A and B are shown apart, each in its own frame.
Chain A
Amino acid sequence: MASLLRNSGKITTTAGLIARPGFQGGRGFGLSSFSLFFSSPRRFQTTESESRVDSHCYDDEISQKFSVLGGKVPYTSGMRFTSELPEEKVPCYRVLDNNGQLIDSRNFAGISKEIAMKMYTDMVKLNTMDTIFYEAQRQGRISFYVTTTGEEAINIASAAALKIDDFIVPQYREPGILLWRGFTPQDFANQCFSNKFDDGKGRQMPVHYGSKKLNYFTVASTIASQLPHAVGAAYSLKMDGKDACVVGYFGDGGSSEGDFHAALNFAAVLEAPVIFLCRNNGWAISTPASDQFRSDGVVVKGQAYGVRSIRVDGNDALAMYSAVRSAREMAITEQKPILIEAVTYRVGHHTTSDDSTRYRPLEEIEWWQMARNPLTLYRKWLESNGWWNDEAEAELRSNSRKELLKAIQVAEKIEKPPVGDMFTDVYDAVPSNLFEQEKLLQQTVTRYPQDYPSDVPVRAVPSS
């Protein structure tokens, strides 16, 4: 079985530096470690067994008056370095077993049938959209696409657990949240084809969706820059006293960016109601997680910044739903940040510009596609409740496919945005130099139409 968490699964023993004479550590070193030095001068040798009791005491004067750590810190005469890895990896919260059955119904708060069904149908729609749009890119109809394959549960279940007032600050692999909130296949297609009905006015590459109406910040290509934005937006929500939070999504690769660290640190200091949701899918283009960090994943970084955190099975829709619901509750009522590490696998390529079989084995991809497919797992649970069957599946898939194909066909034929749209929104009001440039461009295109594409509508400029 391919190991996703590629950091060594072995339990590392605590390694201690032998105290050298002259070292004035703490209150002086214990006698036994001193004698160890003389008996074996090797460095990095394991210390005596963990069962030796070091006396922990509190220096009340320092703790109460002068502690820079904000509280009582126990002092110890034993010199012990905290291991770089915990003895046991942080456990991963899971609700459904491999057969789609509830493992422990006591730890699952429940879900209404309506939401449960919408979750599945949206997951299928998202999966279908990815297939069709990917094919469209391969056919040369759109220039670029990013699939979410394998991460449908993270997308849809997290969206289902949130409310429309919660602000979404995405990376670029979270279109499912827009889908949940009401973005139509036509909306998605219009943006990918950058036609005149694109809400983004044809300004950005495909998949850079955004919707002010649906409280989903426009996707930017920069990695992890959205995390401090999420904290700022959460601060604004906090000042407004709203019953809402912000959710910032990012990947395992994004957790290496400086912005990630600043955002978590700051969110804790500001006590901002923000959920940091990491899609740890094991790969950042061709960089595996083992080359990205050496910690036990991303979840342990939460504690380093004073942020409450949890590791969740990202392919388990019910676990995601449950965890995000609780996180939202905590973030809003306690006004603090929460970190969720959703462990999953990026089944598709990084983007259409990537061929991931060049750097990872096909068997690994296929294993995740088969054995821990979020749609298959969740579907088993739905069927065990009697809420789903093969006919419904076939109908849903067929309808979704038809709807998406139609959306592409329609979007392809719609006109591109007018030339005038190139010059608006640079500033709040169009400055005079851009007004003049637009006029000049309109005149040039009108005069030399043979030099310009025919599908760029030129709007007549009113004389100033």
Chain B
Amino acid sequence: MWGIVGQRACRHGSSAMSLQVTRPVIHALRSFSTAAKEMTVRDALNSAIDEEMSADPKVFLMGEEVGEYQGAYKITKGLLEKYGPDRVLDTPITEAGFTGIGVGAAYHGLKPIVEFMTFNFSMQAIDHIINSAAKSNYMSAGQISVPIVFRGPNGAAAGVGAQHSQCYAPWFASCPGLKVLAPYSSEDARGLMKAAIRDPDPVVFLENELLYGESFPVSAEVLDSSFCLPIGKAKIEREGKDVTITAFSKMVGYALKAAEILSKEGISAEVINLRSIRPLDRATINNSVRKTNRLVTVEEGFPQHGIGAEICASVVEDSFEYLDAAIERIAGADVPMPYAANLERLAVPQVEDIVRAAKRTCYRSSSLAATA
């Protein structure tokens, strides 16, 4: 019965309404408490794109399978039906082609949202992202602005092997002219997507395939169509006083779980959800480290030249005297992602890795080097 009600609501085209009726459990709960509604990251992204397309006729979508197929991961579901083929373009298989076309459209004043089926495929288009999008405003001395959003799943999924699992945050975040965002929760997804679409600069929006189906509570403020999060501000997901743990995307969830385990052992961890990789919220990170004096950076991607490396440098430059222990970097293994499930599990950080690292910074366990 709930399923039928859900379908009927969806046909009305109101995404907000569909949220209310596709979560029968919460619908029941509403009558008993003022608990926040829940929303999947997928729905958060879909609703954010939908609202921005509705508000600004210059916003349009491009990508493989975004239209008729409703999106490879169903993020763009219902949008072709609502906005028509002029604004939701199913492209031929040419990342270089459609990225270049999106950039050209942005040069001329439209606001494209270009989807990469995964950011691994953005490598075929990276010349257009870096040399045509990121640098154009600068090279043209402000005559050509590029209000474009590049979005898609980034980083490891489950069992997809080396060419589908790399985290590209460090690659894009190193380039001036780009903004790089990495949402974790549904609130992040909605707020940052809206900010990205409205931003006049090119934005790389790194989602995570495994987070699409996860539900998070969202307040009425988040559900409002004018909701927007500032770019360049990290969020302190959990306050603490003994050790700072920075993370982004899926690793925020792991860091929170680690913090829970650590609290039972008397270590109070402060978890920072970066939200924005470029610009990096160095102020929030440094203020936190000056409070806790210890730092663990967490990311899924390769260790060398990763996000953690930049955070380490920033903290050493700005808060050196405040550190009571060496900074710990948790990252993925320095190998292309293997496929076999057991190997894959060993190649990405797990909650236990974060817990052990935090303990090492608190001198509660010996460092890896000492035991080598």
Which of the residues B110, B127, B138, B143 comes within 8 Å of A199, measured between beta carbons?
A: B143
Chain B proximity of A256: nearest CB distance (Å): 13
* Residue B131 is within 8 A (CB to CB) of chain A in the complex: yes
- The residue that A229 contacts in the complex, of B132, B137, B139, B145, with Cβ under 8 A, is B132
User: In the complex, what distance in Å separates the CA atom of A258 from the CA atom of B125?
Assistant: 10
Residues on B with C-beta less than 8 A from A220 are: 131-132, 136, 139
Within 8 A of B (CB), among A266-294: 266, 269-270
Measured CB to CB, the nearest residue on chain A to B98 is A266
B145: nearest residue on chain A (CB-CB)? A428
| Contact B110 A236, beta carbon cutoff 8 Å | yes
**Interchain CA distance A226-B132 in the complex, whole Å:** 9
Q: Using a Cβ cutoff of 8 Å, how many contacts connect chains A and B? A: 146
B101–A232 CB distance below 8 A: yes
A203 pairs with B141, CB closer than 8 A: yes
Instruction: Give residues of chain B (114-144) contacting chain A, Cβ–Cβ below 8 Å.
Output: 127-128, 131-132, 136-144
- Count of A interface residues, CB-CB < 8 Å: 47
- Categorize the interface residue count of chain B: 35 or more
A199 contact set on B, CB distance < 8 A: 141, 143
B12 to chain A, nearest CB (A): 28
Select one of B96, B144, B176 contacting A426, CB under 8 A: B176
Q: Does B279 contact A (CB under 8 A)?
A: yes
Interface 1/0s, chain A 230-241, versus B by CB < 8 A?
111111110100
Is the beta-carbon distance between B143 and A211 smaller than 8 angstroms?
yes
Residues of A within 8 A of B288 (CB): none
Residue A210 lies at the interface, judged by CB distance under 8 Å to chain B? yes
CB contacts under 8 Å to B, within A176-211, are 198-201, 203-204, 208, 210-211
Bitwise, B191-205 to A at CB < 8 A (1) or not (0) is 000000001110000
What string of 1s and 0s marks CB contacts (under 8 Å) between B82-95 and chain A? 00001001011010
Please tell me if B177 contacts chain A, counting CB pairs below 8 Å.
yes
Docked Cα-Cα span, A228 to B127, in Å, equals 12
Q: Do A232 and B103 form a contact, CB below 8 Å, given A262-B94, A269-B92?
A: yes
Assess whether B108 is interfacial by the CB under 8 Å rule: yes
Residue numbers in A under 8 Å from B128 (CB-CB): 225, 228
Say yes or no: A424-B105 contact (C-beta < 8 A), given A228-B97, A228-B99, A229-B132. Answer: no
Contact with A along B8-48 (1 / 0, CB 8 A): 00000000000000000000000000000000000000000
Further 9 A-B residue pairs, CB within 8 A, beyond A232-B100, A232-B110: A200-B141, A210-B141, A217-B144, A228-B100, A232-B103, A233-B107, A235-B110, A262-B98, A262-B101
15 intermolecular pairs with C-beta atoms under 8 Å apart: A167-B108, A210-B140, A220-B139, A222-B132, A229-B101, A229-B103, A229-B132, A236-B105, A239-B86, A259-B96, A262-B96, A262-B97, A266-B97, A425-B138, A426-B137
